[in-house]
Structure 1
Amino acid sequence: MKNKAQKIAVIAFIIVIGANLLTISKSFTPKSQDISRIGILLFSSYIVPFELLSVLLVASIIGIMYIVGDDEK
């Protein structure tokens, strides 16, 4: 029964991905290539989410190191 559920999940995944790929526009050319605007937005409007993400990533790295170090003992 588990094997049948896995096959159904894979088929559903392929159908969803295929439908999304067909609806994507063929052109991925950006409207503007002004990288400085991204930097200005990142360090002005989005500074709090940026800093929270950095703290979350550091905490996850420390947690992974703790888990790996704990298994060696």
Structure 2
Amino acid sequence: MGSFSIWHWLIVLLIVVLVFGTKKLKNIGQDLGGAVKGFKDGMKDGAASAEPTPPAQQVTAQKTTDANTVDVEAKTKS
């Protein structure tokens, strides 16, 4: 009782056809298909025309001569 049977879906389909008509449903289907095709073509064109971005520049540390700054280098154990 919780799920719809095939008869429920057929009745819903019949009501939709009666309300909208087959010609309007056909036009909606064609418009939807054209929109999906246009979206796919746009995604292909967008990926092909995308230029690779140059790598980010590295930031170099500047040595300061502040009296409160302690300069420590990490040493590895041998």
Query: So what's the TM-score if we normalise by structure 2?
Result: 0.42
Larger radius of gyration: 2
